[in-house]
Chains A and B, each alone.
Chain A
Amino acid sequence: MAHYVLTRLLSLAISLIVASIVIFALIEIIPGDPAAFMLGINAQEDTVAALRSELGLDASPVARYFEWVGGMVTGDFGTSYTYRTPVTEMIGERLWISLPLALIALALSTLIAFPVGILAASRRGSMTDTVIMGFTQLGVAIPNFWFAMLMVLVFAINLRWFSAGGFPGWDEGLVAGLKALTLPAVSLALPQASILARVMRSALVDTLDEDFMRTARAKGLTRGQAIKRHALRNAMIPVLTIIGLQFSFLLAGAIIIENVFFLPGLGRLIFQAISQRDLIVVESVVMLLVFAVIVVNFAVDIAYAIVDPRLRRQA
């Protein structure tokens, strides 16, 4: 197990390093000088030069890369070109919207998908199965931002149960905050839940055909007992893979959904930063999101080993 965790950690570190180089290099080749952009067309040559050195833009790319990475490791993401405030602070504020949103959506989609997928698989070929699969087929096809717009139309504009957007801040209390995140989280979660339910069903259906399920039945277990005790854990292996992949889709989805609901999260931040050429913010937020994806996939790898003794004792 220790060996397994160690190799996974090593590959996590390599992924992070390579990802940071790719992000830095892409931002590096962007045409245009942020300092000149910030000061406008009429700026004096020497004022631009002064700003450049103030922003640290006159150092060599390699030196700046190491400064950027070194800063991130210590929690210092640098200073926003536009707002002249520490990026760490800007991200910190917004993270408290984006992260709960993604996590609530992930929890919600899992909570919906598991029972639905299990029900469909254990009644394979029945009317229940057909109806469930029909709904998930539809769910997979619905773009989450459009679904979000429809939710706004129905629950905010017509029924007035929720506000159509914006975020009151966590200072207004947990309930107010959660209420503002309800529609966004549901519109993120439902299409994802459809995908997950389909995966859960097909993984379980495959497991039901395994030889050891026949052994379990021959021991005298009922169909339900056999599914609960033997099939579910085996079916979790492919499902875990999809949950890992889904997290990255949820993060990306959250960025878009924040736009629908005017939530001041990382998504809004990154689009503002792009339009203002605030490159240090763009690269930091992208790096943070990639970091989250890589860490979640590491967690999924560890979860594999907990579920599957074959991986655990590989070493």
Chain B
Amino acid sequence: MTLLHIENLSLSISGTPILKDISFSLEEGRILGVIGESGSGKSMTAFAIMQLMPSGASTTGQLLVDGLDTLNASENELCKMRGNDVSIVFQEPMTALNPLKNIGEQVAECIMIHEPQTPRGEALNRARSALERCELPESRFPLSLYPHELSGGQRQRVVIALAIALRPKLLIADEPTTALDVTTQAEILTLLRRLVQEDGMGLLLITHDLAVVADMADDIVIMKDGEIVESGDTAFVFQRMQHPYTRALYEASGHIPERTPTQSMSPILSVKEVVRDYRLPRKKLFAAPEHFRAVDGASFEIFKGESLGLVGESGCGKSTLTRAILGLEAVQGGEIRLNDAPIGPGHTMGPEIRSKMQAVFQDPYGSFNPRHRVDRLISEPLHLLDSPPAGSERSDVISNALREVGLSAEDQFKYIHEFSGGQRQRIAIARALIIQPDLILLDEATSALDVSIRAQILDLLAELAASHGLTYLFISHDLSVVRSITDRVLVMKSGKIVEEGATDQVLSQPKNEYTKTLIDAAPMLP
């Protein structure tokens, strides 16, 4: 029987069209992948199915959920449907749970709402077994735990537990693993697959990641700007790739920029036995505070002209190490040297050393002071020079930097909000380039971008490395990006570097157990 039937659905919010004439359907026991980049309307489709749309939304067309016409259903009917027949798992597990209620209560609430005659103890028992099905056994995860006591992946399991507590017929998962690490992502996807099999639910899996759906979905729908561009059986769609957008998306996902690796044996940066301890808040009033070792004896070198990857999951210490290398934080042991000069916060590091190293950060929106114009933004590092260029010399330097990253000289007179995410990341690269550094740290610099934009930025980085003889330290959680742009790679876990070697070799024949787990967990395109 058809579980979800959408026909000619259009949706607009305050007059702006978001969805245009969408049609697809989903049968019981099947997994349908909905793929699209940001702004494609894929999440809004999920909200429309649940009828949890922002105010000002209006819809036309037909939307049948297990026979119920949700566009015309009463609020009462919808409340009965939500959580009972249809459940949803959202992207952000860190904020999806009420911080003030324990996990047992939150899962049991689902049951008590839909079956009010259930005694509390009975509801808690059922909550317990739902959590157990989601691999949160009571022995290790008692119902009395609060969300803040769980990791992101564990919280997502709680969200899934409350979604499946009443064994719904349809489960919607909206980017359920985007906020999670790759190994956690693999576990959550396996869990979802198992639940679909056990309960015979239909699963609507919404994601931006082609590789995730390729692994899991029976059918896929590819969306762009609120329209469906291609749909059908997964294997068939991947084989045929009829629509140019599908092809572009596919190519961008596995894009490898052209680069010529340069071999050099002169180290530009050396990290020796670096240790970084954090003091934890006191647990007891009069006890000495405990310490957390974020970086634990890390050692490596970066050679001139190479591109080195640093891979690890969240909390592995790679961000801390990055800040230490940038000379923003003191280290408790070991030393970091750039061009043989010591690195450290404050006066340890003169401007002439600092000017040899720049960074590009993850968030294209948070990386710029919104009150400054682009010329001021990208010329900030010039502050490190003894006599910064002024007047026409300054505007030449700025125009040049902008042109090098594929923007126009005119863009220096604009403010940052006038640019898209990809353009902002180009501006961030221009800011790093302007002082002609030897080494650029790219801290998750492409992680926040859509795949097609990411491919363009990777190309730009490869080009600049060739033309300027730049050295990169590429910090990322994303193996596919590291694979495409680095010569060597370091794998970091719990503050230690557990494996090091040529990228191709490490990724194809990992020696370390953890590296193997990472590689196995990463979803692959067919």
Contact = CB atoms under 8 A, between A and B. Distances in A.
The answer to whether A and B belong to the same complex is yes
Interface of A: 3, 6-7, 10, 210-212, 214-222, 225, 229-230, 233-234, 307-310, 313-315
A315 B113 contact: no
A234 B281 CA distance: 25
Interface stretch (B91-99, B125-133, B341-349, B403-411): B91-99
B291 interface: no
Interface stretch (B20-28, B82-90, B374-382): B82-90
Interface stretch (B73-81, B226-234, B294-302, B437-445): B73-81
B525 interface: no
B112 to A, nearest CB: 10
A219 B109 contact: yes
B281 A3 contact: no
5 contacts: A220-B79, A220-B110, A221-B109, A229-B109, A234-B98
Most buried by A among B83, B87, B162: B83
B288 interface: no
Nearest to B52: A217
Contact of B283 (A3, A215, A221, A309): A3
Interface in B154-169: 159, 162-163
Closest 8 CB pairs of A and B: A220-B83, A219-B83, A211-B95, A220-B82, A309-B146, A212-B98, A218-B88, A219-B110
Given A3-B284, A233-B100, A315-B283, A212 B75 contact: no
A310 B145 CA distance: 11
B82 A211 contact: no
A152 to B, nearest CB: 44
Interface in B466-496: none
A215 B97 CA distance: 7
Contact of B82 (A212, A217, A229): A217
Nearest to B91: A211
Given A211-B95, A220-B81, A307 B50 contact: no
Contacts of B148: 309-310, 313
B122 interface: no
A313 B99 CA distance: 12
Given A215-B159, A219-B83, A220-B83, A309 B110 contact: no
Nearest to B107: A219
A241 to B, nearest CB: 16
B114 A220 contact: yes
B285 interface: yes
Contact of B90 (A214, A220, A309, A314): A214
A314 B284 CA distance: 11
A3 B283 CA distance: 8
B149 interface: yes
Most buried by A among B98, B110, B159: B98
Nearest to A125: B55
B52 A219 contact: no
A309 B100 contact: yes
Nearest to B75: A222
B98 A230 contact: yes
Contacts of A7: 285
Given A216-B98, A220-B80, A309-B148, 20 more contacts: A10-B285, A212-B97, A214-B96, A215-B90, A215-B96, A215-B98, A217-B52, A218-B52, A218-B82, A218-B83, A218-B88, A220-B81, A220-B84, A221-B79, A233-B100, A309-B99, A309-B100, A309-B146, A313-B148, A313-B149
Nearest to B86: A218
Interface in B365-392: none
Contacts of B281: 314
Contacts of B285: 3, 6-7, 10
A139 B69 CA distance: 48
Contacts of B146: 309-310, 313
Contacts of B50: 218
Contacts of A6: 285
Contacts of B102: 309
Nearest to A312: B146
A212 B90 CA distance: 10
Contacts of B149: 313
Contacts of B109: 219, 221, 229
Contacts of A210: 95
Contact of A214 (B52, B101, B283): B52
Contacts of A222: 75, 79
A102 B283 CA distance: 38
Contacts of B96: 211-212, 214-215
B110 A212 contact: no
A215 to B, nearest CB: 5
A28 B52 CA distance: 65
A6 B285 CA distance: 8
A71 B498 CA distance: 66
A210 B92 CA distance: 11
B435 to A, nearest CB: 41
Most buried by A among B92, B114, B163, B285: B285
B144 to A, nearest CB: 10
Nearest to A237: B100
A125 B113 CA distance: 28
Nearest to A232: B100
A117 B95 CA distance: 25
Contacts of B87: 218-219
B99 A308 contact: yes
A225 B50 CA distance: 17
A52 B82 CA distance: 80
B3 to A, nearest CB: 17
Contact of A310 (B75, B95, B99, B162): B99
B518 to A, nearest CB: 29
A314 B163 CA distance: 29
A61 B87 CA distance: 72
A211 B89 CA distance: 11
Contacts of A313: 146, 148-149
Interface string B269-289: 000000000000101110000
Contacts of B159: 215
B50 to A, nearest CB: 6
Contacts of B99: 212, 234, 308-310
A303 to B, nearest CB: 13
A212 B79 contact: no
B147 to A, nearest CB: 9
A220 B100 contact: no
B316 to A, nearest CB: 25
A212 B113 contact: no
A221 B97 contact: no
A212 B106 CA distance: 11
A315 B285 CA distance: 10
A219 B130 CA distance: 14
A150 to B, nearest CB: 40
Contacts of A221: 79, 83, 109, 113
B79 to A, nearest CB: 5
Given A212-B96, A230-B98, A219 B90 contact: no
